[in-house]
Structure formats: structure tokens, C-alpha cells
Amino acid sequence: MERAEASSINRYFYAVVLYFFLWIILTYPFSIQEWEAGAAIAFIAALLSYRELSVSGLKNIKRIGILLFWYLPVFIRELIKANLHVAGIVLNPKMPIKPGFVKIKTNLKSPVARVWLANSITLTPGTLSVDIEDQYIYIHWITVGSTDVEHASEEIAGSFEKILEVMFK
Amino acid sequence: MRIEIPQFIWIAWFVIVSIATILATIRAIIGPTNSDRAVGLDTWTTITTGFWVILALYFFQYILLSVSMVYAILSFLGVLAIARYLERGL
Amino acid sequence: MIDLILGWTGVVLVFIGVFFLFLGALGVFRLPDLFNRLQAGTKATTLGVVSTTIGVGLIAKGWLIFSLALAIFLLMTNPISSHALGRASYRAGVKPYKGTNPDLYAEKVKKESDQK
């Protein structure tokens, strides 16, 4: 379990903000009565669960900004590239695959950042993260490029690692 | 309110999604090992979530969109439970 | 006018999404071993369902916010479930396709099972 970075009150208010925002989205046709009920429920639900929700509290809101304006465009480009790659393989009658399991090294420290990196790797061209062990992520690669740990890390994780390093600083 | 969508577009969407569902179901039935069946099931549930969304548009009921959200959550939890079962038994 | 443009963009997006759902299912049906199937299944169906959802949100007025929430939820959970399935089935003893080379993960799984 990671040690908490922020104070309890900070984490509590982050939970309140997040739950209230979710409530607004899920009860979409806006009305003021819904919002009052939502605020009351958000305060109570946050009291019950703020310890499990986050370790760094309101700092996460800044991270969501980076997520939307920097991470998301890169991610969508990679997702579309990945799907064209899959389409090329599946629609080709001969199915040109050369699979293998490789291992990459990451410099990210926080567990949450590693989860984000593994998720991003799964949705980028030809790679699927299978297991994670300290600094190493094991990856199934559908067309193996290089088996060397350093080269593979640069080729697979390079673009996302920079963004995530800034995001989870 | 929504724009008028011609009949043949609806038919094309439903036919393509149905073929996809059938292919995933065949994999879920014949898969050589139980893990292959789980992969077929995972794909099947994702396709069905998409199908619920299109059905919500066809019947034009906002509530069906919430149904697809609940379906997505339950299928995620179900696949996680199956993966746990495959790894170390119940 | 703007409704019409948004609506037809949505129709095109739903077409793309449905097509990728089909490609994902075809990949799951055709590819030779579990991990390759998992790759095709995850990537193609994720883009398919996200594109379908956003397209529907554009077609119907006032559904966009909820459909974006659904799309974000699917984007975050789909890779996790496929990762769990891949790891669990490798440890349950599913052998990869015979052309798989190199297989660095086998060493780790073997080491862990020796320790037990």
C-alpha cells in the first residue's frame, strides 16, 4: 500500500468533487433538486470511501487537465494506428504474424502511473501487457521488432512514458 | 430529437453486429481450452454493449443507455471473476 | 443545419464502430492462439464500442454527455479485463502458438512456480 501524500481533508474534498461531478453526469437532464440531493449524497459517500479513493487528493484535478489536453490526443492517434494495424492483419488471408513475449523497463515510480502505462500499452499497435513486476512489464507483441530490453522499451513505451512522468511527478 | 435515418442503414448496422456476435459465440463454443472460451465471452460482452447502445438509439429511449452502462460494469466484473477463477480456482 | 451535420457525422462514426466490432470478432475467430486473439479482441472492440457510443451521442440530441461518460468507462476497463485474462490463462497453462519467439515470460512463470 502506498503512503498517503496529501492530508485527509484534501482527499475528502477530492472525493466530494468527484462524486458530485459523476452524479451530475449520470442524472443528465439538469435540475436544481437533483443537484441538492447529489450534494448531500456526495458528502456522505465521500465520508465513507475517501481513504480508498485516492492518495494524492486535489492534485488529481491538475492531472485530469494534463490527461485531457496532452495525453488524450496522443492516445487517440495511437489507438487509430493500432486498429488499422489489427485490420491489416485480420483481413489479410495469410495473417502475417510473428508473436513473442518481450520485457520492457519503465522508470515510473508510482503504482498508479504504472497501471496507466500498462493500459496505454495494451491499446497501442500490436502490444498487450501481460504481467508487471517491479520495474519490468511483460508484453505480448504480435510482430516482434527487437528483443533487447532498452530498444523495446523505447519503441513501445517511449511516447507515453514522457507524458506520464510529467503527470505523476 | 434525432435526424431521420433511412431503413437500410439500420438494417446494415444490425446485420454487421449480428454477424460479429455469431463469430464471437462460435469461438466461445469451440475454443479448445476454457481460457479461449473466456476470451470469446469477453469479446461477446463488449459487442453486446455496443448493440445495447444502438438499440437505445433505435427505440429512442434514454433509459436503455443506462442499461448499457450497467451491462458494461457487470461484464467487467464478470470477466475479472472468471480470470481469477482461471488463475487459482474458486 | 448544424443538427444535420452532427447527425450524419454520428452515422459515419457508428458505421466505423460497427465495422471494427465485426473486425474484432473476426480476429477472435481466425487468429491461431489465445494471446493473438486477445490482442485483436481488445483493440478492435474497444475502438468499435467507443466510436459507436460517441456516434450515438452525436445523433441523438442531449445524449452526448452520458455517452462520453460511457465511452471513458469502456476505455478504462477494457484493457484491464484483457490483461487479467491474458495473465490468468498463461498461468493456467495455456501454451502460446508454436511460432512464438522469444518467450521471456515463460522464465518468470517457471521461477515463480518453482518457489511455491
Task: Find chains touching chain A: ≥3 CB pairs under 8 Å.
Answer: C
Is pLDDT at C6 greater than 70 in this prediction?
Answer: yes
pLDDT attached to residue A4: 59
Burial C8-35 (b: 16+ CB within 10 A, else e): eebbebbbbbbbbbbbbbbbbbbbebbb
Asked whether residue B2 is domain-assigned, the answer is no
pLDDT attached to residue A122: 86
Residue A114 and residue A164: Cα distance in Å, rounded? Answer: 9
Q: Mean per-residue pLDDT for C94-109?
A: 75
CB A132 within 8 A of CB A78: no
Q: How far is CA B37 from CA A126, B27, B32, C51, in A?
A: 22, 7, 8, 26
In sequence order, what are the beta bridge partners of A101?
A140, C103
Is pLDDT at C103 greater than 90 in this prediction?
Answer: no
Cα-flanking dihedrals φ and ψ of residue C60, to 5°?
-90, 130
Is pLDDT at B90 greater than 70 in this prediction?
Answer: no
From the list A90, A100, A129, which residue is nearest C100 (CB)? A100
In terms of Cβ atoms closer than 10 Å to its own Cβ (0-12, 13-18, 19+), residue A27 is middle
Asked whether residue B29 is domain-assigned, the answer is yes
Contact across the interface for C44 and A80, Cβ inside 8 Å: no
Q: Give the per-residue SS3 of C17-74.
A: HHHHHHHHHHHHHHCCCHHHHHHHHHHHHHHHHHHHHHHHHHHECCCHHHHHHHHHHH
**pLDDT tier at C13, thresholds 50, 70, 90:** very high
pLDDT attached to residue C60: 87
Residue B31 and residue C29: Cα distance in Å, rounded? Answer: 9
Contact across the interface for A79 and C82, Cβ inside 8 Å: no
CB contact, 8 Å: A25 with chain C? yes
Q: Mean per-residue pLDDT for C25-33?
A: 88
CB A7 within 8 A of CB A56: no
Ranges A113-117, B54-58, C18-22: which has the least confidence: A113-117
Is pLDDT at A99 greater than 90 in this prediction?
Answer: no
DSSP code for A68 = I
Q: Mean per-residue pLDDT for A86-93?
A: 86
pLDDT attached to residue A104: 83
Mention every residue, 6+ apart, whose C-beta is less than 8 A from residue A159: A74, A78
Work out the number of other CB atoms within 10 angstroms of the CB of residue A21: 12
pLDDT attached to residue C54: 93
Is pLDDT at A92 greater than 90 in this prediction?
Answer: no
pLDDT tens across B13-53, in order?
Answer: 999 999 999 999 999 998 788 888 988 999 999 999 999 99
Asked whether residue B18 is domain-assigned, the answer is yes
Please list every residue in chain A whose beta carbon sits closer than 8 Å to the beta carbon of residue C86: 128, 130, 140
pLDDT tens across A3-57, in order?
Answer: 556 788 888 888 898 899 888 888 877 788 888 998 999 999 988 888 888 777 7
Contact across the interface for C29 and B80, Cβ inside 8 Å: no
Asked whether residue B72 is domain-assigned, the answer is yes
Q: Which three cell numbers stand for residue B48?
A: 453486446
Question: Which position has the grid cell 490527461?
Answer: A67
pLDDT attached to residue A1: 44
* A129 dihedral zone (left: phi>0; alpha: psi -120 to 50; beta): beta
Number of domains in chain B: 1
Asked whether residue B1 is domain-assigned, the answer is no
Q: Which three cell numbers stand for residue C110?
A: 517457471
CB A130 within 8 A of CB C83: yes
Residue C89 and residue C76: Cα distance in Å, rounded? Answer: 21
Query: Could you tell me the residue range of the domain that residue C42 belongs to?
Result: 2-115
Number of domains in chain C: 1
CB C90 within 8 A of CB C107: no
Is pLDDT at C102 greater than 90 in this prediction?
Answer: no
CB B35 within 8 A of CB C85: yes
Query: Could you tell me the residue range of the domain that residue B11 belongs to?
Result: 7-88
Task: Find chains touching chain B: ≥3 CB pairs under 8 Å.
Answer: C
Distance from CA of A133 to the nearest CA of C (A): 10
CB contact, 8 Å: C42 with chain A? yes
Asked whether residue B21 is domain-assigned, the answer is yes
Of A22, A26, B65, A75, nearest to C55 by C-alpha is B65
Q: Mean per-residue pLDDT for A88-100?
A: 83
Which residue type sits at B59? F
State yes or no: cis peptide before C102, omega within 30 of 0.
yes
pLDDT attached to residue B20: 92
Residue A150 and residue A140: Cα distance in Å, rounded? Answer: 16
pLDDT attached to residue C97: 76
Asked whether residue B76 is domain-assigned, the answer is yes
Is pLDDT at A2 greater than 60 in this prediction?
Answer: no
pLDDT tens across C42-100, in order?
Answer: 889 999 999 999 999 999 888 888 899 999 999 889 989 988 888 888 888 777 777 77
pLDDT attached to residue B51: 92
pLDDT attached to residue B4: 82
Residue A115 and residue A133: Cα distance in Å, rounded? Answer: 12
